[in-house]
Amino acid sequence: MVTGSCYLLTSDSGDQILIDLGMFQGPPEIDALSFKPFEVDCSLLRGVLLTHAHLDHCGRLPILQKLGFKGHIYMTAPTAELSELTLLDSAKIAQEDHPEDALYNKDQVINLVHKFRVIEYNHPFEIGSFNVTFRDAGHIIGSASIEVEADSQKIVFSGDLGNTPEDLTKPTQNITSADFAVCESTYGDRSHPPGEAIDIIRAEINMAEQSSGALLIPAFALERTQELLHIISHLKSKNLIKQDTPVFLDSPMAEKATIIYEKFSSFLNDEIKKDFITSDPFSFPGLRIIRDRKESSGLDNLPGVKVIIAGSGMMTGGRMVNHARILLQNSSTRLLIVGYQAEGTLGRKLLNGEKEVKVGDQSIHVNATVTDTQVMSSHADQSGLLNWLKSIQGLKKVILTHGEKSSRETLAQKIKTDLHLSDISLPSLNQELVLNN
């Protein structure tokens, strides 16, 4: 599956480190995996390495404290601030929706943040018997691929690899050498379609303007929302959409994340750095920030054209679900899906064309027009994954994770035929692999 990322690495000396501890997201049977006992003696961990701040990579980190973890959690500076934001939001939602069985609370998150340690890209450091180096994965701001050396061997964890070139992030950094690679495979069975995100966003907003309807864009608070704001800013500045078309950012978390993006603009690519010189690349005429829940509810009854950007990206919760419950029943509504939709999520069901769906506790008939684009994906596609692996000299084994069945199997075959590597593992949950030369 594509959620719940977590790897335990043990050296010959017995030292152990954890790479990521993400939350499982999807239908109830997948969600339930987050609450199963974590069968690792966390008191023995020398440390934790975090690839990036998405919930499926950092979402279970607070459970470490009650399991006896005494070490530090290493990550880049943007990841540290974004992870704190992500985890506080997760704790808040859990307390509101399921107070009786929340995985952790706000105080536990605040205590966890004291264990964060900031690491720079390309600066090796040691944790016990491990030598570690972070490289820029180009996925979201601060995201990392991680090289780990121990016992005269090197293993690299891809994290989530970016869809280079991207609107905001710098290009994905290649790894020059490793013995083993643990590689994501989210889009391992396909190529992203040709096209430019700005053209798709423009077309969708123009059609909403013509019909005086609503355009709903479910978006992850980290990266995707900032990318959308940046694109709409360009469209407004070039008069390719109407200046008075209202755009509502209905996500307090996304608003806070945008401030963090502005703080760490040095981590972004050269093109957007130029935009920072003359203006705020995430702001434009007609943008309204919605903070209050009551104000959010009122958006659905506003007449005329409106663009609503809200979470969650897979429509598994958040304010977008409330808008979808009402507005997807209108034929004048458009829904633009701009990110990956995991199996079992409302977003995937709508993407698959289902007309009768359950939104929260209510079943509705979908009359809205549903469009999707993978042009905005922040994940590398099949060719991107292959190119990243191809750059690694001395590679003996590839372990494919973070992908659904078809994606992993298809990518495994491509690696065999294109890279002439035969030792490929597709591990299952909790499987242990022994790596040696």
Instruction: Evaluate if residue 331 carries a pLDDT over 70.
Output: yes
pLDDT of residue 360: 82
> How far is 67 from 45, CA to CA, in rounded Å?
11
Residue 168 lies in a domain: yes
Residue 401: which CATH number? 3.60.15.10
Distances (CA, A) of 322 to 26, 34, 263, 325, 359: 18, 25, 31, 5, 8
pLDDT tens, residue by residue, 17-32: 999 999 998 788 888 9
What are the tens digits of pLDDT across the range 55-79? 999 999 999 999 999 999 999 999 9
**Across 228-242, average pLDDT:** 95
pLDDT of residue 142: 97
Q: Which domain holds residue 68?
A: 6-190+380-425
Residue 277 lies in a domain: yes
Token pair 């017995």: residue: 14
pLDDT score for 35: 93
Task: Answer whether residue 97 shows pLDDT above 80.
Answer: no
Count Cβ atoms below 10 Å from residue 298 Cβ, excluding itself. Answer: 11
Number of H helices, E strands in the chain: 14, 20
Within a domain: residue 280? yes
Name the nearest CA neighbour of 5 among 49, 69, 67. Answer: 49
**Burial classification of residue 93, based on how many CB atoms lie within 10 Å of its CB (0-12 exposed, 13-18 middle, 19 or more buried):** middle
Q: Please indicate, yes or no, whether residues 264 and 298 belong to a single structural domain of this protein.
A: yes
CA 52 to chain centre: 8
CB 183 within 8 A of CB 400: yes
Regarding beta strands 180-184 and 397-401, do their DSSP bridges make them parallel or antiparallel, or are they unpaired? parallel
Asked whether residue 434 is domain-assigned, the answer is no
Whether 119 is in a domain gets the answer yes
CATH number at residue 298: 3.40.50.10890
Longest dimension (CA), the chain: 66
Name the percent of the chain lying above pLDDT 90.
84
pLDDT digits (tens, 9 = 90+) for 268-300: 999 899 888 888 999 999 999 999 999 999 999
Q: How confident is the model at residue 361, as a pLDDT?
A: 85
With beta carbons less than 8 A apart as the criterion, state whether 225 and 283 touch: no
pLDDT at 400: 98
Shared domain check, 321 and 393: no
DSSP state of 265: G
Q: What is the mean pLDDT of residues 328-353?
A: 91
Asked if residue 401 and residue 349 are part of one domain, the reply reads no
Q: Is residue 247 part of a domain?
A: yes
Q: Number of structural domains, the chain? A: 2
162-171 pLDDT, tens digit per residue, is: 998 888 999 9
Same domain, 45 and 166: yes
147 with 245, same domain: the answer is no
Predicted local distance difference test score (pLDDT) of residue 343: 80
Average pLDDT over residues 76-103: 91
Q: Cβ distance 122 to 114 under 8 Å?
A: no
pLDDT category of residue 193 using cuts at 50, 70 and 90:
confident
Q: Under 8 Å CB-to-CB from 169, ≥6 apart: which residues? A: 136, 138, 139, 140, 141, 143, 162, 223, 267, 268, 269, 378
At 127 the pLDDT is: 97
Are 344 and 216 found together in one domain?
Answer: yes
Same domain, 336 and 303: yes
* Terminal Cα distance for the chain, rounded: 29
Q: Evaluate whether residue 102 is within a structural domain.
A: yes
Is 436 inside any structural domain?
no
Is a pLDDT exceeding 90 seen at residue 393?
yes
Assess whether 301 and 228 both reside in one domain.
yes
Q: Are residues 355 and 215 in the same domain?
A: yes
232 and 274 co-located in one domain: yes
Residues 283 and 249 in one domain: yes
Residue (of 414, 432, 344) closest to 189 by Cα position: 414
- Checking if the pLDDT of 437 tops 80, the result is no
In this structure, the answer to whether residues 280 and 362 fall within a common structural domain is yes
